[in-house]
Structure 1
Amino acid sequence: MKTFARWTLAGAMVFAGLSHLFWARKEFQTQVPDLVTDVLPIDKDGVVVASGAVEMMLGAALVALPKERRRVGAILAAFFIAIFPGNIGQALGEKEGFQLDSPQKRWGRLLFQPVLVAWALWSTSPAKR
């Protein structure tokens, strides 16, 4: 079951990363908090491209680096936590994107972030004997 969950998460991460680079690039830019570009020497498009590349690498690492599975899972969980402020910013700023066109949908999305963190950690944890 963990293998299936890990491979599913890997596929979702690669898909999400590709969407950052191609068909959903503009929508992702609306989710980048202004604070990020105020503090870092990078524009919103750069943040989207970089985060998409990271998502693809983490997704590939979930499958390609079995001996590093726990470490990759921890890094992925940390990544999900790191992008959480962008989701909060979208909810607070009432920014539309990805059919999150109401406060209920934007705030509801926040509840899914802990699920992603748990999924990354659980699917990469050692099997119980």
Structure 2
Amino acid sequence: MTRAAPRDPLRTAARSALAALLVAAGVGHLTVLRRGFRIAVPDWATRLLRTDKDTIVVVSGVVEVLLGVALLVLPRERRRVGVAVAALFVAVFPGNVHHWRTGRDVPGLDSDAKRFARLFLQPLLVAWALWSTRR
């Protein structure tokens, strides 16, 4: 018989908030913010992934929604999902650096100061994903 892991209310709240953030961002990628995110996709990303900007935005939105939902509905896979979320945040980091270096606006980030501050947010997001999903 396996024992259930003790529940940690702070981690549960953090995980739920992260899930909500991912779902909201994903829905934004798929709907009202789609054009803004499409404009922000670096040209090198389309060459690297061999696809168009819209496909990158749509796929990233779907991935964000799926990961957000998975954080809530797959408790046995919580750790793996957390690692996948952290990997997503690491994967988008080069694009965030590109936005800052080129001064390219993305939804909600319309100044160099905001784009630069986001670079420091990425490691916090990675830590949030890993911490909130560990046992």
Structure 2 length-normalised TM: 0.89
Q: CA deviation at 1:106?
A: 1.1
Task: Write out aligned runs for 1:1-129 (5 A).
Answer: 1-126=10-135
Name the SS of the counterpart of 2:98 in structure 1. helix
Shift of 1:85: 0.7
Offset at residue 109 of structure 1 (A)? 1.1
Rg larger for = 2
Q: Distance in 2 between matches of 1:110 and 1:58?
A: 22
What is the DSSP-based 3-state SS (H/G/I as helix, E as strand, rest coil) of the residue aligned with 1:39? helix
Query: Shift in Å at residue 31 of structure 1?
Result: 2.2
Structure 1 unaligned regions, length at least 5: none
Post-superposition Cα deviations, 1:20-63, rounded to whole Å, max 9, x if no partner, equal 00000011112211111113221001000000000000000001
Question: Any idea what the Cα deviations from partners look like across 1:75-125, whole Å, max 9, x if unmatched?
Answer: 110110000111111001110122422221111111101110000000001
What are the ranges of 5 or more consecutive residues in structure 2 without an aligned counterpart?
A: 1-9
* Paired residue total: 126
Distance 1:69 1:99, change over 3 A: closer
Runs of 4+ in structure 1 deviating by more than 3 angstroms, as ranges, are none
Amino acid at match of 1:72: V
RMSD after superposition: 1.0
CA contact (8 A) 1:31 1:87 kept: no
Matches of 2:108 and 2:19 in 1, distance apart? 24
2-structure distance, mates of 1:99, 1:75: 25
With 37-46 and 53-62 compared, the bigger mean Cα shift is at 37-46
Cα distance in 2, alignment partners of residues 99 and 118 from structure 1: 22
